[in-house]
Structure 1
Amino acid sequence: MRVVSLVPSLTEAVAVTVPEALVGATDWCTHPEGLDVARVGGSKYPDLERVLALRPDLVLLNVEENRREDADALATAGVPVRVTYPRTVPQALTELADLLAALGVAGEPGWLAAARRAWADPPAPSAVRRAVVPVWRRPWVVLGGDTFAGDVLRRLGVVNLYGDDPERYPRPDLAALRAREPELVVLPDEPYRFNAADGPEAFGGTPCALVSGRHLTWYGPSLAEAPGLLAAQLDAPLT
């Protein structure tokens, strides 16, 4: 089977499990390191002519990362597509297992079994913290309800103050964010690259935790190490 992945998480999952199947990926597919496959542009705006030129038997997409019109265009061209949309850790593990089975993988690979074990008993938080989780700035965008990253944080003892918002990615202004009086601000390094200087100053003395965006939002081999890594980062906030 010839697979093109337009989802970095799934690119990594396929590349480390059935590398011979992967023939194309986006420019943003950075893992595993040294990945040597044809590149087909970005996740939001892939070069569909390049995708079709690779003669894929399957193209992998995600509801959040890719556009419906690209999925429709590929389907119209006769290319099978598989669209993922996990909003919880268990859903991600199930979707990954189903995908690998569809690719002919016999049994679960070691990394997926390790991820199940890691999330069955994630590290206990030192304290349950009420937090806001910006994922973009200029304008501010935060995690709302029904998101995969929100479920990851919940399992690590973080209470998302926008977790019950009807919007999945609300856009409050900074005054509204401060008014929630968070005990912690969680700042991932992707998709927006928050750092020690860009983000914490906006929240005064509120502790800010810089965390790995890949481990917060990707669902693939990174899931196996995500609980321990994120828990350590959440427990070492900047002030």
Structure 2
Amino acid sequence: MRVVSLVPSLTEAVAVTLPGVLVGATDWCTHPADLDVARVGGSKYPDLARVRALRPDVVLCNVEENRREDADALTAAGVPVRVTYPRTVPQALDELAALLTELGADREPDWLTAARRAWAAPPAPTGPHRAVVPVWRRPWVVLGRDTFAGDVLHRLGVRNLYADHPDRYPRPDLAELRGRRPDLVVLPDEPYRFTADDGPDAFPGVPCALLSGRHLTWYGPSLAEAPEVLGAQLARRLTHPG
């Protein structure tokens, strides 16, 4: 089996579960740290000729991470594509189990079993919090309805104020975000790298929690530690004076 992954979290899941199966990954696939495979460009704009040259048996994609036109182009070229699209934690766990079995795993990996256990009894929520969750700035983009990260936060006691919005990733302006009167602003460091100096400044007087994007949005081995990591980060949320 020869696998090319265009999804960072799936790259990690395959690399630690089935060493030697992965032959290519994107430039953004940073885990595991010692990953030594051919690089095929970015998640959004991969070098498809380089992907095909690796002669993969399957290319792993995700509805949100990758462009449909790239998946269609690979399929048209005769390259099998496996697309994932989890929107809840249980869906992610089950999709991972099914995918790894398809790729040759003869049993569920220990990290996946640990993730199921961790999410069966996540840390007691510090909330409930009424939150907005920006994932981009310039322009502002926030989590809306039916997202994996939104489900993660819901299970940790964070109520997304845009969870009922018709769009999955609304683009409200800053005045609207402030007008929702959140009691918490969640600022992950992926895909936009919010920091203590870039993000909280837009929400004076509102507690801001800087969260690990890898634990909030990735579905792979990081799921096993995500409840503990995110729960601790929410518990010690940063308050920006203003």
Q: Which residue of 1 aligns with 2:2?
A: 2
Which SS does the other structure have where 2:49 is aligned? helix
1:40-59 map, 5 Å: 40-59=40-59
1:74-223 map, 5 Å: 74-223=74-223
Q: Which residue of 2 aligns with 1:238?
A: 238
Regions of 4+ moved over 4 Å: none
TM-score (norm 2): 0.98
1:29 aligns with 2:29: yes
Partners of 1:206 and 1:231 in 2: CA distance? 19
What amino acid sits opposite 2:111 in the alignment? W
Which SS does the other structure have where 1:51 is aligned? helix
8 Å Cα contact 2:126/2:234 also seen in 1: no
Partners of 1:238 and 1:217 in 2: CA distance? 20
Which SS does the other structure have where 1:20 is aligned? coil
What amino acid sits opposite 2:75 in the alignment? A
Q: CA deviation at 1:238?
A: 1.4
Q: Which residue of 1 aligns with 2:65?
A: 65
Q: CA deviation at 1:104?
A: 1.3
Partners of 2:27 and 2:127 in 1: CA distance? 39
Gaps of 5+ in 1: none
Q: CA deviation at 1:126?
A: 2.4
Q: CA deviation at 1:26?
A: 0.1
Query: Which digits, 9 at most, give the CA deviation of each residue in 1:174-204, with x for residues without a partner?
Result: 0000000000000000100000010101100
TM-score (norm 1): 0.99
Partners of 2:148 and 2:71 in 1: CA distance? 21
Partners of 1:201 and 1:238 in 2: CA distance? 12
RMSD of equivalent CA atoms? 0.5
Q: CA deviation at 1:170?
A: 0.2
Partners of 1:72 and 1:127 in 2: CA distance? 43
Which SS does the other structure have where 2:83 is aligned? strand
Partners of 1:126 and 1:150 in 2: CA distance? 16
Partners of 2:52 and 2:200 in 1: CA distance? 44
Q: CA deviation at 1:127?
A: 2.3
Partners of 1:45 and 1:199 in 2: CA distance? 28
Partners of 2:76 and 2:37 in 1: CA distance? 25
Partners of 2:72 and 2:131 in 1: CA distance? 38
What amino acid sits opposite 2:142 in the alignment? V
8 Å Cα contact 2:149/2:217 also seen in 1: yes
